[in-house]
Amino acid sequence: MGMPAAKQHILIVEDRADVRLSLRFLLNNHGYEVFEAESPAVASELLHSHRIDLILLDMNFEFDTTSGEEGLAFLRAQQKTSSPPILAMTAWSSVSLAVEAMQLGAKDFFAKPWDNHAVVMMMKKHLALAQIDHQKAISKQSESAQFGKSETSSNNISKSILWHSPQMQKLKAQLERVAKTDATIFLRGENGTGKSCIAEYVHTHSARTGEFVSVNMGAIPESLFESELFGHKKGAFTDAKQDRAGRFELANNGTLFLDEVATMGANQQAKLLRVLESKQFERVGDTLTQQASCRIIAASNADFEAMLESGEFRTDLYFRLNTIELTIPPLNARPDDIVVLAKHFIELHAKQYQLTPLPLSKLAEQALLDYSWPGNVRELSHMMARAVLMAEGDCIDAQDLEFKTLNNSSKNTSSENDIPLMTLEDAEKKLLKMALSQTHSNVEQAGELLGISKSAIYRRLEKFGLSTK
């Protein structure tokens, strides 16, 4: 994958200076900035004073002690914080300790003595996964951190639209018909179905020569609503240090996408309605009236029928926004798209992380089809990104897929804070594979590393369907 573009910070928590030095040399040679702590207490102080992207944690800090209690206590404490990913360092004989570390939140583990290449690849994988989780958390908070600037494809890999299923082919035909008009469009659909992507598709296939401007209405504080949408003049209010164009002005002769319109309060609804009716607006603090010459596309996942009935949303505004209403079907309603999209995202993410794209096993395909997809296409994209990085075999199997909710899938759910649990069997299988790799498939030596007999190794090989070839 090459050296990281910006230095990532790795914290080594290890009481032995020689081990810290070996790891420091290894990580420095791969372009990482290294911090060292000889104890969990020092590590906690460093975490408060420095940005740390990943932690390498030894489990034992007392001479002649193998309980790992200090390392486990550190993991328990990190469960209560937004900790960076932690990789545990264990001895080959510490199978139960490795399992307990994983159950307390360690993302992975490696044994001493370690393989340099394997450790670096493990780190790169979990650093990339942490970045995916970070981007996902940001997208949950707001589709745009700056009140909805349109996302670029480099930041939103799931923007690609595939028109595979009959439902999506029908939607595509509808979009291409309405794109040629100036009609206001109202997009309905669950979170993660790609409403912003669909809106941009309409803009791209229209005759509009201006920009596509996206606004997340739910992210705009009420006090800044007029300034964000209509702009302001310098000195119009305390923080108005200079003239500023609003979204309507930026979208001149283009398309203005109003996402999450159901989140607007009564005052905001009235102000937006006035502009839609008159097709005119003024910057805050200005007397010059400007023409609103942009096409409006609105979107929401709310139950508008209930909101209209309760008076929570204005009927007149709803009809202004709803000249043409189109519904984007959820992913679970178009099963023909699931595997096709999954393969598409595997290709995209493998290219992004400079990896060889792996095929999906039949079991993985069935698991994808059995899942209910509450997060829709966005969730599928994130899942494939994780699978591309986590898969260890020559294909992506069902065990490489991390499902987030309990449903008819046979996959275990994650806890609320996304700490992946590892069963004793999973850890046993992982250690067995590591031991065989370390000993070049020498069963007797692998048994010595793991502290079990040769016959026990063969029993486990049969149990897990593994081969020494």
Where are the strands (E) in 18-107, listed by range?
Answer: 33-37, 54-58, 86-91
Q: Which residues pair with 212 in a beta bridge?
A: 255
pLDDT digits (tens, 9 = 90+) for 368-423: 999 999 999 989 988 898 888 878 788 998 888 888 644 434 334 443 334 344 55
Nearest Cα to Cα of residue 435 among 427, 424, 446, 443: 446
Identify whether the C-beta of residue 358 lies closer than 8 Å to the C-beta of residue 388.
yes
Q: How far apart are CA 259 and CA 194, in angstroms?
A: 11
Identify whether the C-beta of residue 188 lies closer than 8 Å to the C-beta of residue 233.
no
For residue 359, the SS3 value is coil
Domains annotated for the chain, with CATH where assigned, are 9-141 (3.40.50.2300), 157-329 (3.40.50.300), 366-463 (no CATH)
**Which residues, 6 or more positions from 294, have their beta carbon under 8 angstroms from its beta carbon?**
210, 213, 248, 251, 252, 253, 254, 255, 256
pLDDT digits (tens, 9 = 90+) for 148-170: 444 333 334 334 578 889 999 99
Which of the four pLDDT bands, split at 50, 70 and 90, describes residue 96? low
**pTM for the structure as a whole:** 0.60
pLDDT at 62: 66
Q: How far apart are CA 77 and CA 231, in angstroms?
A: 47
pLDDT at 65 over 60: no
Q: How far apart are CA 402 and CA 387, in angstroms?
A: 8
Q: Quote the tokens at residue 54.
A: 């990943």
Q: How far apart are CA 265 and CA 428, in angstroms?
A: 55
Nearest Cα to Cα of residue 390 among 435, 420, 348, 425: 420
Residue corresponding to tokens 């209509």? 230
Between strands 54-58 and 86-91, the pairing is: parallel
